[in-house]
Amino acid sequence: MGNNLARKILAAHLVSGEMIAGKEIALRIDQTLTQDASGTTAYLQFEAIGIPRVRTEVSVSYVDHNMLQTGFENADDHRFLQSIAAKFGVYFSRPGNGICHQVHAERFAVPGKTLLGSDSHTPLCGGLGMIAIGAGGLDVAVAMGGDPFYLAMPKILGVKLTGKLQPWVSGKDVILELLRRLTVKGGVGKVVEYYGPGVATLDVIDRITITNMGAELGATTSVFPSDERTRVYLKAQNREETWLSLAADPEATYDEYLEIDLDTLEPLIAQPHSPDKVVKVSEVAGLAVQQVSVGSCTNSSYRDLSVVAHVLRGKSVHPGLSLTVSPGSRQVYTQVGRSGALADMIGAGARMLESACGPCIGMGMAPPSNSVAVRSFNRNFEGRSGTRDAKVYLASPETCAATAITGVITDPRTLGEYPTLVIPERFETNDALVIPPIEDSAEVEVIRGPNIKPLPRFTEIENTLSGEVILKVGDNITTDHISPAGTNVLPLRSNLPALAEFTFERVDKTFAARARAAGRSFVVGGTNYGQGSAREHAALAPRYLGVQAVLAISFARIHRANLVNFGVVPLLFANPEDYTSIAQGDQLEISLLREQLQAGEGVMVRNLTTGIEIKAHAPLSTREEEILLEGGLLSHIKRRSTTV
């Protein structure tokens, strides 16, 4: 019996624990990345840990989210990030260099290594044979300090690919097909590993699109073999020396299996407001569209934009819509400029944006009210675009380009023969906007603007929790619901008191005021609570406002870890039907929490309003239990350091 690739890489980095599904393991982390929306807090946390310099092989700080400088806040954050990177030995990718995942794949990703990033789409680099995992900023800060990353050993889902993609069908359609089959909850607790004869037919761009959007499955990560296609990609980036051949053993087994015949795939599209509401493009063709956007960390490569340029060449963007294009990196922008693709897109009427996340996170280019937008992005949650009543569809660059010239959702196969794309054997690899670590950083001054506030200090969790159910929500509540993105909120990520005012704003605009008035409170959720981004502020802000515990039917992996890291008790209903027995406004009480957690037989929650007692589970490892009871991971680290 052979080993699959995921288990091979995990085993090579195993620090402690048994590789049995569900058991806690600790992994050595080779590389980390942060982006500016999460990075300010992550580096404040690293600073608080008290380690003078990062202890990873490579750590990179990217600026790609908060790029709209309508006030001083984002510009101040950028200066802070650059100075603190110099202080602690971190590479700094300056504004304009590109989106973190695209740039990391181009310049830093190495097959067989582990990568931990404070962004949920970090698994993109799994397309080059890495184990790349998204996590909260505090977990990344701890990993930068040389400590391992802890997680429950995932199951390995083997996805066998056969056949070959047909013209006008791309990697985007592969992951949309997987989302159609598995839903946004189907990957929770799993690594998705791709194998089979179809793998060799996919270039790295298709692979990184697939692994990027594996995050929408709720998967821990996704991984492809590192093969000849990988070597060609790294050679084009002038990094062929980092290539390593990696694959599953011939007789490898998996915990679960699934097969996709690439020959039979058609262009697919995700309907509002979830990435798993997937249908064939042909089923919704003809729907009038007011905005098309190509870009994001998912589909902003040179090949993606080349396809768009070929479709647009000699044509005009339909007068009923606006087309925006965001190249994923400075390298991509430079290459489309030199190839003539940029002129084709501009000539057709495309609005070229900078190399940044931009519209994907609601930072500019919000669609018109009550409009339809088609985007090559990874998420279409309600309101994420910046327009609450916009209907956002997700599709491939091919479908986006076809739609842009017709004005209606269009199956790209109706355009005729697929264009012949010329991909450079070598890309220009100008790293002038990447500032490497400096050796002597003792005299570096960290520059802090007035928007950067100190971290809050949380005390040990109390043994009796009591308070009001300040909010009850349904299934698939995202971190966008809890701590929204957008132009008003993202600039406040380093200012928790101001940021907290927006908590649950898209669900209940009174939440922050009511939570402050209540003092101590609970939140009740349904299934897959906290899906979406890795933003730890979705746990940090509720804790700041007095939320002591969240009771849910199930949690998304990263958000559950973030709750523990900030001392918020994540509780699962022992009987999911008990969800209906708690109403918003009820008063709850948990007595002898410490003793109940240590006994490991469940936690009894008493509804003082109804007199009903509900049993909940708190499936915590011994380490997580200690962190939780001590008020969070930072408190735990500081206590540990004083006892060593």
Q: Which residues are catalytic?
A: 64-65, 119, 379, 533, 535
In one-letter notation, the amino acid at residue 589 is E
Residue 121 zone, left/alpha/beta (φ > 0; ψ -120 to 50; rest): alpha
Closest C-alpha among 518, 531, 639, 643 to residue 588: 518
d(CA 493, CA 495): 6
- Look at the alpha carbons of 505, 507, 510, 513 in this order and tell me if their dihedral is positive or negative: negative
Beta-bridge partners for 615: 604
Closest C-alpha among 463, 465, 461 to residue 629: 461
Please answer whether residues 390 and 366 qualify as being in contact, where contact means their C-beta atoms are separated by less than 8 angstroms.
yes
In one-letter notation, the amino acid at residue 55 is R
d(CA 166, CA 188): 30
- Look at the alpha carbons of 134, 139, 144, 147 in this order and tell me if their dihedral is positive or negative: negative
User: Residue 398 corresponds to which tokens in the numbers above?
Assistant: 């091919």
> What is the 8-class DSSP label of residue 120?
T
Beta-carbon contacts of residue 608 (< 8 Å; ≥ 6 apart): 466, 586, 587, 588, 589
d(CA 495, CA 488): 13
Please answer whether residues 347 and 373 qualify as being in contact, where contact means their C-beta atoms are separated by less than 8 angstroms.
no
Number of H helices, E strands in the chain: 21, 27
Output the CA angle 368-374-376, nearest 5 degrees. 130
* Number of C-beta neighbours around residue 433 at 10 A: 17
* Helices of type H across 445-567: 479-482, 496-499, 511-518, 537-544, 557-565
In one-letter notation, the amino acid at residue 638 is K
